[in-house]
Structure formats: C-alpha cells, structure tokens
A = this chain, B = another copy of it.
C-alpha cells in the first residue's frame, strides 16, 4: 500500500523501513526538509540523511507525506495535534490515520508519565479523531517498541497487537498492514475510546523495559 509517515524519529524510521521492506510504497514527512534538518542527530535513531541513503525511502514534507493513501502518526504525542494540523486536515480527509503516538510527559526526566490532558475520560487518539472528524483514526502499534512493531516474529510465542477505532473497514485495512509485517494475534478492542486502555499501557511498558529491555510484548490469555 501507499503509506505516508508523519515524524522522523525512531518509530517513523523503524516502522517505515519495515513497511518498505515488505513491499509497501513509503514516504516519510518532517516539518522542514533542509540539509540541516536531515543531518540533525536524533535520539535512538539515525540522522535522516543517513537513513534515506540507506533505505531508499524518500524524506519529504509532512504535507506531502499526508498525501499518501494511508497515513501514520509517528510523532511525539505531545506535539501530535500540532503536527497533524501542519500535515493538513484536508489532506487527511477520508483517509485512514494510524495513530502510533503516546502522550508522554518528559519534563520530569525518565521514566516519563502520561500527560494528564490526554488521560482519564479521554485519550490522545480520541482528541485526534475529534480534531479530524473526516479522518478514520485507528490507534495501533503504540504498545510496543518500534523494532517489535516492524518485526513481531522476534518475540517468542503468542503476543498481541491492539486496535481501537470507530471504523471497522479502516481497522480491517490496518490489520492487513500488520499481517504484512508478520503480526498474527490482532485484538480489536472496539471504538476509539479503547485507546484510553492502550495508551495507559505505557507506564507498565516503561517499567518492563527498565527491568528487561524493550524486546517484549503482552498476550491476553482468556479462560
């Protein structure tokens, strides 16, 4: 499929390269595409000029990446609404937006907490859906490390990818994309309010990462 990724950090780079390797047509959009921006050092990720030379994936503007058929929000949750505003509501109208972001507050150091304005009786994904009513938002991939998103087979045994969204056809398309990456256990949690659950997994994800590294995922075991 023709997929545009918004955000040039580790999630955008690793998920983008994984989708490209499986034959999808991928572009990656950032705020400004100057030589200086492309060469900028990035946390847990390559400078984008190195990444684009290595992968062959085009780095472009957010607006151009949002012109793809399917768009992935791989920005930091604290700036997602602003970034998607730059990408353009008109660009995103009618499309599937896969929201991978987590609303983390890094202001008090590590580990971050969830930003209070996106918790309780709301979530980041719900606020994105409200800001883009013409777009079919599917929360997915936000409960695992980027390397696990792109290569789920590296985790032993059954483990789950959670989907939340209001549009059943959009979730079916996201499930197809996930299957192309190797995902087997895909759990539909229902409408977009289920993102309250998946975004709230971040505190235990962070703790499990601190105690044993990021190569893990959870599996829901029923009676």
Q: Which A residues are within 8 Å of any B CB, using their own CB?
A: 105, 108, 113-114, 116, 119-121, 154-159, 162, 189-190, 194, 196-198, 200-208, 210-212, 215-223
Contact = CB atoms under 8 A, between A and B. Distances in A.
Contacts of A218: 218-221
B216 A206 contact: no
B194 A207 contact: yes
A223 B116 contact: no
A207 B222 contact: no
Contact of A206 (B116, B157, B197, B212): B197
A72 to B, nearest CB: 22
A203 B220 CA distance: 14
A194 B206 CA distance: 9
B113 A121 contact: yes
A12 B223 CA distance: 22
